[in-house]
Amino acid sequence: MKLITLNTWKGKAFDPLMDFFVRNRDSADIFCLQEILNTPADRTSQDGCRVNLFTEIARRLPEHRGFFHALYDNKLPSGEVDFPLSYGLAMFVKKDLQLLGCGDRFIYQNRNEFDATDPKNKARILQFAQVSCAEKNLTVFNFHGLPHPAHKEDSDKRLVQCEKILNFTAGIAGPKILCGDFNLRPDTKSIGLIEDGFRNLVKDYAIRTTWSNLDTKHGSYPVDYIFASPEIRVINCRALPEEVSDHLPLEVEFSW
């Protein structure tokens, strides 16, 4: 089985991003995506962002089921918008996998809430889906961590965030994959907390960075991760050299 996780950059590199999904739709069983916009309005873009990105991706993945879970509504980085718009996480799961359930868990604040001391830190959720293949169950978790402080180092809120993730995932039995853009450097205590319950595949496979050449603000280090529980048999994990976002896609091939 193959899983790909990617921060989509709100679809700012739209054409290469859509080509990426078309090229990988047959081989990837599960996509875990961050920075997804969704609207019922008859609009395509605003301020360089694709406001109907969830629908656009779904059109390119006809053999996958799509699930969108919102963090907040009616806002872009430039400010509030005057049409219905939601921002959040998405998963796309191959239809030949049996879906046992899906949902989300708020890890920081609640929908449409933000941190009064840093309004850029809005609500965060852990999205999850449980699937079955050959009568064996797997739970996949998709996450996008607090973006601030921008240095990607530890903070009290990031430590609590990771503690909540670890506690919630520990309560679900069976094989698990946890992935996404954690907005954290690999040597932080926060990532160390996750490693108490999972194998860090970015570390094990010596992935040096998950920033693409489209990023102009950061250095060469990972902030995106794939973590696997001990039951997962990993075949390979790598960062794909695709210029489709300011982040690189991460791909893992595995069985359980």
pLDDT reported for residue 211: 97
Provide the pLDDT for residue 56: 98
| pLDDT at residue 77 is higher than 90 | no
Question: How many residues comprise the chain?
Answer: 256
pLDDT tens digits, 229-251: 999 999 999 999 999 999 999 99
Model-level pTM? 0.97
pLDDT at 252: 98
User: Please, which pLDDT band fits residue 119 given cuts at 50, 70 and 90?
Assistant: confident
Average pLDDT score over residue span 91-110: 96
| DSSP H or E stretch at residue 169 | helix 156-170
- CB count within 10 Å of CB 205 equals 15
Residue 223 has pLDDT above 90, yes or no: yes
| Nearest residue to 185 (alpha-carbon basis) of 143, 212, 145 | 145
How far is CA 166 from its chain centroid? Answer: 16
Q: What is the DSSP string of 93-145?
A: EETTSEEEEEEEEEEES-TT-EETTEEEEE-EEEEEEEEEETTEEEEEEEEE-
DSSP 211: B
Say if residue 219's pLDDT is above 90: no
Provide the pLDDT for residue 216: 87
Query: Which pLDDT score, from 0 to 100, does residue 241 have?
Result: 96
Q: Which two tokens stand for residue 165?
A: 């993730």
- Mean pLDDT computed over every residue of the chain: 96
Q: Is the peptide bond before 84 cis (omega within 30 degrees of 0)?
A: no
